[in-house]
Amino acid sequence: MIVALLGNQNSGKTTVFNQMTGSNQKVGNFPGVTVSKKEASLRGHSDFTVVDLPGIYSLSPYSAEEVVTRDFLVDEKPDVILNVIDTTQIERSLYLSIQLIEMNIPMVIALNMMDEIRQQGSHVHIEELSGRLGVPLIPISASRNEGILELIDETVRVAKSGQKPANLDLCSGPAHRAIHAIMSLTEERADAAGLSSRYAATKLAERDPLIQKRLQLSENELEAIEQIIVLMEDELQTDNLAALADMRYTFIDKVASASIHKGSGEDLLTERLDRVLTNRFAAIPIFILLLGLVFWVAFGFPGTWLSDQLTSGMGWLTAQIDTALTASGLNFVLHSLIVDGILAGVGSVLSFLPLIALLYLMLSILEDSGYMARVAFVMDSWMRRMGISGAAIVPLIMGFGCSVPAIMSTRTLPSKRDRRLTIFMIPFMSCSAKVPIYGAIASVFFPDHAGLVMVLLYLLGIYLAVMLGLILRQRPNTSEASPFIMELPPYRFPSLLSVGRNLWQKIRDFLRRAFTVILAVTVVIWFLSHFDQHLNFVSSSDDSLLAWLGAVIAPVFKPLGLSDWRIPAALISGFTAKEAVISTLAVMSGATVETLGPTLAAIFTTPSAIAFLVYVLVYTPCVAAVAAARNEFGNWRDTWIMIIFQLVAAWVVAFIFYRLALLWGISPLATIGIIALLLSLPILLNYRAQRRESRERAA
């Protein structure tokens, strides 16, 4: 049996899914966490499958999430709908509930966040509310695992009994007459299509093209329905959508006033914090300070100290295994594979695990607190200047963790245009897979300022993303961004369970890549760097098959100061996983975890190290991210455009920084002038766009 789990964004739906199934899906206190449907078996009932659908506010197919959810309900015909409601925002949540009730599918409502209702001094009369809605209601607090067993039992009971909602006639006046007139015209067609006659009539009153097509209405029937709608609009002096929305909210107000008693302590903390954190003058500086704190914890003393300890431990372990293998008389080729290949490659990546763990920990805390939604709200005006919605800031910030879920989350954006531009911008956000590369190079060439260098790389990525948005904004007919409507959830103290679960998922994913993809790449690179074209074992990697392949590509990177054949070979391995770049350099150079620093110092100069860092920042993301982009674009054309654009942009930006680094040794003043000019480009581009818009408005 199928349980369709759905509700508004940020209603706690994914937390309910985790509690009911024992899954570990990502939970965040900001909208848009679930971007595709997920499935798992119901706890204690293996014959029940719970499908977690994207968060939506209505069944009108305006966004990709609404289309996915509505198609599932209409086509898959679940045995029961489990509607999760944020009880602290019950009036808004009931708008979707009423539409679901109209579908006449067996249904249970979970009143979530009842603990917060109690803290506010509010009270919900469960029996009264259930009677007025005609469906069973179960009060729960998913984050505290309260009421989950009762919810499971009631869901199973309703599904097996097939108990449908009581007949609910919420309409009145002209809207009532219009809906019932349409019902009388289309009842037989609705039954044939497997739809509730009331739901079909309401959607037809909304002029819903998908329902019109599904019912296969004739021209005469469509004309009759249109006359009914026009008559309703004339009587109410408003359009059809506003009339139906007003009808629903009138019913909701009556239900809420009879069933809900609100206390006086509602959202006081949220209001006080928002006065500061969303203040028009203080919001941006506070955001920058918080990001600075995140980067300092991850890349400053706490992160580097932990990383150094792990490096020492990995070095000790490698030495012990090397000694044991030598004493055992193991074949020298296998010895080299284990020590110079697997341990050197995987160990060089694992040593940066603390940096990545701390970065994810800080970002998870910000997400769980509800601050990320404020960031999107605050950044809306700035994002709009680049011609995209402020909602794009959420995928961009997720890009600091991993590009794959960040690209997938763009489907929550309101328009195809916004989604496409945001996907192009996400690779400029330094994902956590690049942290080992930044850390290894910065610690060798900028040992006293490694943390600052890493922060500057992150800021450079943001700057380049802004530049891309402003450049694309210069194109005709691209200045208008889609409207941005976003719920600001209440602030909550970060849940230790939620933060811990998210952190463990990220660490587990990193370890899985280290011992699968990176391990496989390491073995391949070891083979290519220790055997020649005739498959003879070579004592020097300069005579290897990989050296021959790298020499073919090296001329492309020579203008960047990256003439060593090992560098392009390492960059190619980065297409599988960015962490593989460092492991590849370690394997090709025969370096151990502890001798990686001197090896890098022999491969790079300071200017070429800067160019390398910038190239890694900008060039094409890993294969998994490219596949995610292909899935969201829906075609290979845009995907190839993105790949080629990233490669060209990386070369150009790295070339500029390499020349700036060389120029610094000759004339620091001239270098500062050029950097200032580059930094002023966004201002000039934005000024040009503003002038063009002013002229258009004047015309």
Q: What is the pLDDT of residues 443-484, one digit of tens each?
A: 888 887 877 888 888 888 888 888 887 777 666 554 455 555
The 3 state secondary structure assigned to 410-434 is HHHCCCHHHHHHHHHHHHHCCCHHH
The two beta strands, 2-7 and 45-52, are parallel
Return the closest-CA partner of residue 504 out of 18, 12, 25.
25
Report the alpha-carbon angle 360-365-368, nearest 5: 120
- The β-bridge partners of 39 are 51
Cross-strand bridge partners of residue 41: 49
Q: Which of 386, 397, 389 is CA-nearest to residue 418?
A: 389
Q: Which residues contact 6 (CB under 8 A, 6 or more apart)?
A: 13, 53, 55, 56, 69, 81, 82, 83, 84, 96, 100
Tell me, what's the pLDDT at 375? 79
Distance CA 494, CA 506 (A): 17
296-324 mean pLDDT:
82
DSSP H helix total and E strand total for the chain: 33, 8
Stated length of the chain: 699
Examine the pLDDT at 699 and tell me if it is beyond 80.
no
Please report, rounded to a whole number, the percentage of residues in the chain having pLDDT higher than 70: 91
For residue 375 the two structure tokens come to: 């960031």
Which pLDDT does position 30 carry in this prediction? 46
What's the mean pLDDT in 645-658? Answer: 92
Q: Is residue 612 predicted with pLDDT exceeding 90?
A: yes
pLDDT tens-digit readout, 347-400: 777 877 887 788 778 877 887 787 877 877 777 777 776 667 667 777 887 788
Select the more confidently predicted residue: 383 or 612.
612
pLDDT for the residue numbered 156? 93
Cα–Cα distances (Å) from 346 to 337, 438, 513, 565, 598, in that order, read 12, 17, 10, 21, 18
Q: Tens of pLDDT along 549-559?
A: 878 888 899 99
At 616, the amino acid letter reads: V
Shortest CA distance to 427 belongs to which of 557, 232, 610, 575?
A: 575
The DSSP 8-state label assigned to residue 391 in this structure reads G
The first and second tokens of residue 111, run together, are 């009143």
Confidence grade of residue 89 (pLDDT, cut at 50, 70, 90): confident
Which pLDDT score, from 0 to 100, does residue 110 have?
Answer: 93
Output the CA torsion sign for 404, 506, 368, 455.
Answer: negative
CB within 8 Å of 298: residues ≥ 6 apart: 355, 356, 358, 359, 362, 435
Highest mean pLDDT: which of 137-141, 396-400, 663-667, 668-672?
137-141
Taking 70 as the threshold, does the pLDDT of residue 78 lie above it? yes
pLDDT computed for residue 84 by the predictor: 93
The model's confidence at residue 260, banded by pLDDT at 50, 70 and 90, is: confident
Lowest mean pLDDT among 32-41, 184-193, 213-222, 609-618: 32-41
Residue 39, helix vs strand vs coil: strand
Band of pLDDT at residue 264, cut at 50, 70 and 90: low
pLDDT band at 29 (very low <50, low <70, confident <90, very high): very low
Classified as helix, coil or strand, 4 is strand
Structure tokens at 272: 């006080």
CB atoms within 10 A of CB 553: 14
- Return the SS3 of 47: strand
The reported pLDDT for the residue numbered 135 is: 92
pLDDT at 81: 93
Residues 473-516 pLDDT 10s: 666 554 455 555 666 777 777 777 777 877 887 788 778 877 88
Q: What is the DSSP string of 459-477?
A: HHHHHHHHHHHHHHHTSTT
Cβ neighbours for 641, distance < 8 A, ≥ 6 positions apart: none
Angle between helices 435-445 and 580-589 (to 10 degrees): 50
Residue ranges with strand state E in 557-677: none
pLDDT of residue 306: 84
Bridge partners of residue 51, in order along the sequence? 4, 39
Token pair 């794959």 is found at 404
| Nearest of 646, 647, 629 to residue 638 by alpha carbon | 629
313: how many CB neighbours lie within 10 A of its CB?
A: 14
Please write the tens of the pLDDT for every residue from 555-572: 899 999 888 888 888 888
Q: Cα dihedral angle (354, 360, 364, 365), rounded to 10 degrees?
A: 40
pLDDT at 80 over 90: yes
pLDDT band at residue 621 under the 50/70/90 scheme: confident
DSSP 55: P
> Which ranges constitute the DSSP H helices of 558-605?
566-573, 580-589, 596-603
Residue 129's Cβ-count burial label (10 Å; 0-12, 13-18, 19+) is: buried
Tokens of 447: 């040992």
Of 111-115, 167-171, 212-216, minimum mean pLDDT range: 167-171
Per-chain mean pLDDT for the chain: 82
Q: Are 57 and 8 in contact (CB under 8 A)?
A: yes
How many C-beta neighbours within 10 Å does residue 270 have? Answer: 16
Q: Is 616 exposed, middle or buried (0-12, 13-18, 19+ CB in 10 A)?
A: buried
Report the alpha-carbon distance of residue 6 to residue 126 in Å, rounded. 20
pLDDT value at 136 more than 90:
yes
Tokens 């970060």 found at: 494
Of 404-418, 420-434, 452-466, the one with minimum mean pLDDT is 404-418
Provide mean pLDDT across the span 146-172. Answer: 87
Instruction: Note the pLDDT tens digit of each residue in 5-26.
Output: 988 877 888 888 888 988 765 5
Which pTM value belongs to this model?
A: 0.68
pLDDT of 271 above 90? no
Largest Cα separation within the chain, whole Å, is: 94
The answer to which of 138-142, 190-194, 643-647, 677-681 has the lowest mean pLDDT is: 677-681
- pLDDT tens digit string along 43-69? 888 899 999 888 888 887 666 667 778
Structure tokens given for 316: 């000790």
200-254 confidence digits (pLDDT tens): 888 888 888 888 888 888 888 888 989 998 998 888 888 888 888 888 888 888 8
Hunting for tokens 């509602």 — which residue is that?
A: 266
